[in-house]
Structure 1
Amino acid sequence: MKIAFYGSSILSSYWNGAATYYRGILKALAEHGYDITFFEPDAYDRQSHRDIEPPSWCRVVVYPATAEGLHGVVRQASAADVVVKASGVGFADDELLAGTMAAARDDAVRIWWDVDAPATLAELHAGPAHPLRRALPELDLVLTYGGGEPVIQAYRQLGASDCIPIYNALDPSTHHPVPHDPRFDAELGFLGNRLPDREARVEEFFLRPASLLPDRRFILGGSGWADKACPANVARIGHVSTEAHNAFNCSPRAVLNINRDSMASTGFSPPTRVFEAAGAGACLITDFWAGIEMFLQPGTEVLVVRDGADVAELLRSLDADQAARIGQAALRRVLAEHTYDRRAVQLDRVLKATLDAKRKELAA
């Protein structure tokens, strides 16, 4: 089965938090026999910050971020059995959605794959004339990387035929325990790009505990933080490429997950960082969000906090042995239940059932 997948980037994680997700799920899907072509625009300087070269399990087409480049790749949707337009491609998203779905064959499955569903749904509810809102009834399926029942029901109410979460997960071949790296030595590490609906939560859950524990070292990784005012004990280390994520997760006493506002309020949306950290055996601290127990058990596999004061209190009492026990318990859980291989089995069933139902309908 051929898949044409139009996304932000599979080659670069630079200003592109979805890269790990795309790599994990598509690599696992390719192992089930799918022939995948990933189309990504040459935008946001991502191509000069590649983390990987084009992989063997996926053909990658990088196209110019121009009208001509867009037109060239849109036409290629006609060769696929499954056509996927992901959210947040970053160049001419509305035109790309309209073009790829129009170019798809009548017997192809048309999919909107939302990697930021809470934010997308807020846009759709605020804009009745939004192009995606008009397109939803004509699509065969909505997939999301999180959101749970609230997102499923919201998409169905907006006219989607169905909405199925394909949650983030772990690829143990890329994210796994490694030796301690002195570059990332710290009491607490946080890795995430600076975004408007994340910054206030970073101030509360990361910078506030740093100010409360001035004798402890904190490291802040990700793009956009260079001019952010931080306590003196916070080291801003900039973009951390994916090949260094394991060392980043394994070296601090604990690592912190901070959800964006929309995902925290919706819940059921574990970001890739949760599984990357757990896969490395890191002691993970996360802000609270509904549904976390579906993925990790609070108290034994992950530490859950409500504010920055909670983070500081945890760090005062967290010793190396306790951190190691929590990290190892998280690693066992994600290896048993939350790998991309498992997600691919689920997705394979969904795609085949959807394609089969569509072709039966056309034949009737």
Structure 2
Amino acid sequence: MTRVPLSVLDLSPISEGSTVQQALRNTVDLARQTEEWGYERYWVAEHHFVGVASSSPAVLIGLIAAATNRIRVGSAAVQLGFTTAAAVVESFGTVDALYSGRIDLGVGRSGQRRAEAVAGDGRGMPERVSSPDPSGLFPPAPAEAAPRRTPLLSASLAALQQPEAQAPDFVGQLDDLAALLAGTYERDGVPLTARPGAGAGLSVWLFGSSAGPTAREAGARGLPFAASYHFSPGTTLDAIDEYRRSFVPSANLSEPYVAVSADVVVAESDEQARGLAASFPQWVYSIRSGHGAAEYPNPDGATPLTDEQYRLVADRVETQFVGSAATVTDRLEALQEATGADELVLTSVTYDHVDRLRSYELLGKEWGLPRLRV
């Protein structure tokens, strides 16, 4: 049977006791391998001041593109609240100038939402909550899915933005991105041409987790949309529905195109995969509790979560697809059918790099991806 393409989402996780340097070497190695195994795209995340090494997506994308030959490489996603449209277009335009036709510019609203959380009541934008789903694929969203005000969040924003800077308007930044890429940008009535950037062959995507401005703008602008199921499974269907309702055909797309992300761990057997994923709850708890992603824990020494702690992460743990390649393929097929996804984006995090490689290799083979001849 013909299945939808699979892509990779990589946070460049730093394993407990390892280093930033090794995490980045692992990322480049995984990109080379997944290209050979037939994966469609290689997405890198943007996170700051936590236990992952993916803080500079444009730089990392350039390194990955230089180390590979075919696979598309993109950002999932640039946090527009921490930068300007001009800086994004110039940096990604630089990479595109050397690797034209392979670079995807994924952008998201995370920076704006974090700024709102600090400036407001600490909760940021509320999420819509889906009803429980009997399949277990779409549990209700956690009660506090939006960012909360924490010392780490406040300090991070202070470090990432100029003093007294305000997070730019998201829709306005999207307008600026489009104008800069088209070569029609003006500021205060003065035409400005981004070089590199203007006329770049970048494919622009929007990444979102709820039925909010990101999903609506992706649809209204006729852009591809990536729904972050791995981050917020309970709001995925709402986000996709909003995107499809808002969709207007464009020069980029004649009909909606949806990618859906999922956490997976694949091994030779279900039991072995469960062992590899045993410290995933602790890692997600470090994120959800407001402390920021910790270095990925060794499953052999991870302390079990309390019942109260587990409730905060249950939706993500129970929607992580863990097992043999056949087991995970069945779950992914169900997710694809339920969402109508045109592409699945997989993030597989394990303590040992060799296990992460094997996870993607086994799944790609079971899925029937076309391997490159080397």
Q: TM-score, normalised by structure 1?
A: 0.31
Higher relative contact order (CA 8 A, sep 6+): 2
